Amino acid sequence: MSAPSPHPDSLWAPWRLAYITGDKADAPAPEPAVWRPGADTDCFLCRAAAVAATHDRTLGVLERTPTALVLLNRYPYANGHLLIAPLDHRAMLADLTSDTLLELQQRLADWCGRLQLALQAHGLNIGLNLGQVAGAGVPGHLHWHLVPRWPGDVNFMTSVAGVRVIPQALDALWEQLRSTS
């Protein structure tokens, strides 16, 4: 019997190392077309909002609405880990209009269903980290994390320490999820 993990709910995601170490050399950077008012040119969500939809595949963008953006997390905790964000660079929920808040909730509800259907997810974690101390990687631009879960996924990964779990290739996943509705 192995010692209990101090973080029993942590998903083992070694591909996140590139994110943690800041090695983002593989991240493509298409030229933005139109910056939104208040955009931060260093913010990857603002960049994704500003570029033409022809770059959606490169950036993993799954859906754009007039106020929201849904995209694949390039450093996923699990296969199908999505980010849902307002198009505008806003740090706090109170900074968003009621219409945008409602739209974001609708995108969350919709993509929960799409992930359950497309990836046979049995459950989902939905998280929002507001502020750097809360773990926000981009504290100026709030975004929900939507993480599909399957029975035994944590147990499996922690019980095979040393075996790297390769997520479905992001490009193939983008293609699969874009075809859902």
For Zn ion, the binding residues (CB under 5 A) are 40, 43, 45-46, 89, 141
How far is Cα 179 from Cα 111, in angstroms, rounded to an integer?
Answer: 12
Kind and range of the H or E element at 144? strand 144-149
How far is Cα 71 from Cα 54, in angstroms, rounded to an integer?
Answer: 14
Considering the complex, what minimum distance in angstroms separates the CB of residue 106 from Zn ion?
Answer: 21
Considering the complex, what minimum distance in angstroms separates the CB of residue 142 from Zn ion?
Answer: 9
How far is Cα 124 from Cα 121, in angstroms, rounded to an integer?
Answer: 7
Query: Does 141 participate in catalysis according to the annotation?
Result: no
Cβ proximity to Zn ion: between 43 and 165 the closer is: 43
Q: Which one from 81, 141, 143, 145 is the annotated catalytic residue?
A: 143
- Give the up-direction half-sphere exposure of residue 149: CA atoms within 13 A in the CB hemisphere: 14
Cβ proximity to Zn ion: between 11 and 45 the closer is: 45
Considering the complex, what minimum distance in angstroms separates the CB of residue 149 from Zn ion?
Answer: 28
Cβ proximity to Zn ion: between 45 and 147 the closer is: 45
Contact 140, 92 (CB under 8 A): no
Which amino acids are annotated catalytic? 143
